[in-house]
Structure 1
């Protein structure tokens, strides 16, 4: 399945980015928005059985457990929608969960623009239902940063899946799992967290 950028790296970058731009959003900084950005920055890696999210929801950290859980979850959501709701967002969620179950890491939906649009649509439905303002913007911030960061690695991402399977990379990349790659990610995490610690008192005081 191959190496991947660490979840902690994605989390650190997502948190730092939100801290940097939070005062540009209506209402300014809030911890719910930060949690949404954090979750979105980790979400694309649910196609990997050992990702940070899957560590807490899979009973076994292997491909078989991932396939079983996500396929069954997707089927249950689609069944629930068919019987009770008939809502496009539930259909999208069910289909997305099935796609996650069937895909390998960085080979399918979650690391594509279509995946970001699909999950943003689902999140937007939740935001409208529960009156959570700007939730889609927060989500797109975290999700798009994940894709951008993975484009900086040697493996790239299938940005235009399922229309094109070609992996898209930035002009300069590094090899994940290498000594240089691990050092770069360590610097990013530490720098990001230090910036968050520095920035939060400032933006909360402004608010």
Structure 2
């Protein structure tokens, strides 16, 4: 499913869960739900959540700067060593070909996304923030390097997210952080990607078999239409639950 649909479903799922389990919900809880409904897609470098942390136009600009700077440096180093313009030009051309084939825009985004979370974890460590915050940041730093729809889309990631959020909740006294964070994170799989043709590997890493309960192809007209219908159904369910109270 598309990122905006995941976000909407995560918020609606949290509202429905708060009604069913009689858990108070606030604007902050809705913000948590929106964020955690998108976190599983950190393993996709071009996702909405990735773009939130590291804008695509900025990463493309940095990519161009790195490529151009590296090429210029190679040329001047080469001409400094052999003092032959034509030979240096050939060396630079080969270097450009090799570097651009290896250093892709997506790879650069993965590197910088990971560095953002590692830097955050480092800052938290030096200001002596409890270890669970640091572990959570380091866990997110690994997501960009995972194969899309692997560990971040599994039951084990949901369990780990709940455990870390529960510890953070106990340390900070943020009410129901683990409840809304876990509900919205799980909604990404159970109310979203599991209905796509690709499915999700719920039992990864024990098994990488992807479970699918649908046939949706993300981005297609039919899939986009069904996403809207599904959101409307969730809204109706919430209205019905409120009326029944």
TM-score (norm 1): 0.77
1:16 corresponding residue in structure 2? 12
Shift of 1:100: 1.0
1:124 aligned residue = 166
Alignment CA distance shift 1:109-1:86 (3 Å): farther
Aligned to 1:92: 135
**Partner of residue 43 from structure 2, selected from 34, 40, 47:** 47
Contact preservation (8 Å) 1:147, 1:157: yes
Aligned equivalents of 1:98, 1:38: Cα separation in 2: 19
**Do the aligned partners of 1:92 and 1:118 also contact (CA within 8 Å) in 2?**
no
RMSD: 2.9
2:133–2:168 contact (8 Å) kept in structure 1: no
Aligned partner (choices 27, 30, 35) of residue 26 of structure 2: 30
2: CA distance, partners of 1:104 / 1:177: 20
Change beyond 3 A, Cα 1:81–1:38: closer
Any conservation in 2 of the 1:70–1:100 contact (CA below 8 Å)? Answer: no
Picking from 125, 133, 146, the partner of 1:103 is: 146
Tell me the residue number matched to 2:206: 163
2:59 is matched with: 60
TM-aligned CA distance change 1:178 to 1:27, over 3 Å = closer
Distance 1:90 1:121 in 2: 12
The runs of 5 or more residues in structure 2 that have no matched partner are 61-104
CA distance in 2, matches of 1:91, 1:51: 24
Q: Deviations over 1:34-60 (max 9, x none)?
A: 222222211111211222222222132
By how many angstroms is 1:155 displaced?
0.7
Q: TM-score, normalised by structure 2?
A: 0.66
Give the aligned partner of residue 7 of structure 1.
Answer: 3
How many Å separate the matches in 1 of 2:169 and 2:27? 16
Residues 21-41 of structure 1, C-alpha deviation per residue, up to 9 Å, x if partnerless? Answer: 323445533222222222221
Partner of 1:146: 188
Q: How far apart are the structure 2 equivalents of 1:113 and 1:92?
A: 18
Contact 1:96–1:118 (Cα < 8 Å) also in 2 = no
Displacement, 1:150?
0.6
Q: Which has the larger radius of gyration?
A: 2
1:100 and 1:110 in contact (8 A); partners too: yes
**Cα distance in 2, alignment partners of residues 20 and 86 from structure 1:** 33
Describe the shift of the 1:66–1:163 C-alpha distance in structure 2 as closer, same or farther (beyond 3 A). Answer: farther
- Structure 2 contact 3–48 (Cα < 8 Å) conserved: yes
What is the aligned residue count? Answer: 195
Q: Deviations over 1:107-136 (max 9, x none)?
A: x32111222222222222321222012211
CA contact (8 A) 1:41 1:146 kept: yes
